[in-house]
């Protein structure tokens, strides 16, 4: 198939960016979206042009690195699919595809489609872990955990930190990410000791990083490639109010 790509090009942080058009011919429907961009970059390099900068790592839908907005939708048109797992059979010959980076003040553009998502790391550093000193690692079955709790923790822990929730939210809120990181710890007994401090510190860190507030648009849930439920946000809000009153 033959495609017209409109890709955001920005040389460096703070530089003026713009959408630039590229024609890509003979694209196989069996290519992944990133493989298609690889082909484009090979042709740009052959012509002595600067390749398009984009992030990628595992290319298996696990690492959360490959975030970009495709035709106005984070990760593209297929639900619960990362860009690296998106295939060109989702498009048609002659299509015009617009490719942009995540749009959020807390995710400044580094170059082209690459954004700085270190704000997520700083939120996790404020409490997204268990620091209780338990000595040697206990046996995995030493603390009984009801299956419903284990399943809930696994649902929340499936968050890959890609940032699609932020990119989809009209407020650029990180509530789904933060709620997932808190939720998977709070569903297990090991996370209860630091529960109050974790909620309070991580929510404040999220606000300090410049993410917007949640106003229940639920775009985050729709864009999440792992299908994480917005019910984790409701739970986080409840816990934050309780913690703030203590």
Concatenated DSSP letters for 54-97?
---S-SSSSS-----EETTEET-SSTT--GGG-BGGGS-TT-EE
Q: Domains in the chain, ordered, with CATH?
A: 3-110 (3.10.20.30), 118-245 (1.10.1060.10)
**Percent of the residues in the chain that have a pLDDT greater than 70, as a whole number:** 98
| Helix axis angle, 118-125 to 175-186, nearest 10° | 40
Decide which of 122 and 243 is more confident. Answer: 122
246: pLDDT confidence band, cut at 50, 70 and 90?
Answer: confident
Q: Yes or no: say if 177 and 123 are a contact pair by the CB < 8 Å rule.
A: yes
The reported pLDDT for the residue numbered 98 is 98
Q: What contacts 142, CB < 8 A, 6 or more positions away?
A: none
Q: What is the mean pLDDT of residues 140-155?
A: 90
Q: Yes or no: say if 88 and 33 are a contact pair by the CB < 8 Å rule.
A: yes
The reported pLDDT for the residue numbered 136 is 76
- What distance in Å separates the CA atoms of residue 246 and residue 234, rounded to the nearest whole number? 19
- What does DSSP assign to residue 36? H
Output the average pLDDT for the chain.
95
- What distance in Å separates the CA atoms of residue 204 and residue 196, rounded to the nearest whole number? 13
């Amino acid at each position: 198939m033959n495609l017209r790509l409109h890709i955001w090009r920005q040389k460096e942080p703070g530089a003026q960016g713009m959408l630039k058009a590229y024609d890509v011919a003979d694209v196989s429907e069996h290519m992944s979206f990133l493989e298609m961009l690889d082909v484009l970059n090979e042709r740009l390099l052959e012509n002595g042009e600067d390749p398009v900068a984009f992030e990628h790592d595992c290319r298996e839908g696990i690492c959360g690195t490959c975030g970009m907005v495709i035709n106005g939708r984070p990760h593209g048109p297929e639900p619960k699919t990362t860009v690296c797992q998106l295939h060109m059979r989702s498009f048609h010959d002659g299509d015009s595809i617009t490719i942009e980076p995540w749009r959020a003040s807390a995710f400044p553009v580094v170059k082209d489609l690459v954004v700085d998502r270190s704000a997520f790391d700083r939120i996790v550093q404020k409490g997204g872990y268990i620091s209780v000193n338990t000595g040697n690692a206990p046996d995995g079955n030493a603390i009984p955990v009801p299956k419903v709790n284990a399943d809930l923790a696994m649902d929340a822990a499936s968050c890959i930190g890609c940032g699609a929730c932020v990119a989809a939210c009209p407020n650029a809120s990180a509530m789904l990410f933060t709620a997932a990181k808190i939720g998977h710890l709070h569903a297990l007994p090991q996370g209860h000791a630091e529960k109050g401090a974790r909620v309070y510190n991580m929510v404040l860190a999220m606000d300090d990083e410049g993410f917007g507030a949640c106003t229940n648009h639920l775009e985050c849930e729709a864009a999440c490639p792992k299908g994480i439920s917005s019910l984790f946000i409701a739970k986080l809000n409840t816990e934050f109010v309780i913690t703030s009153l203590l």
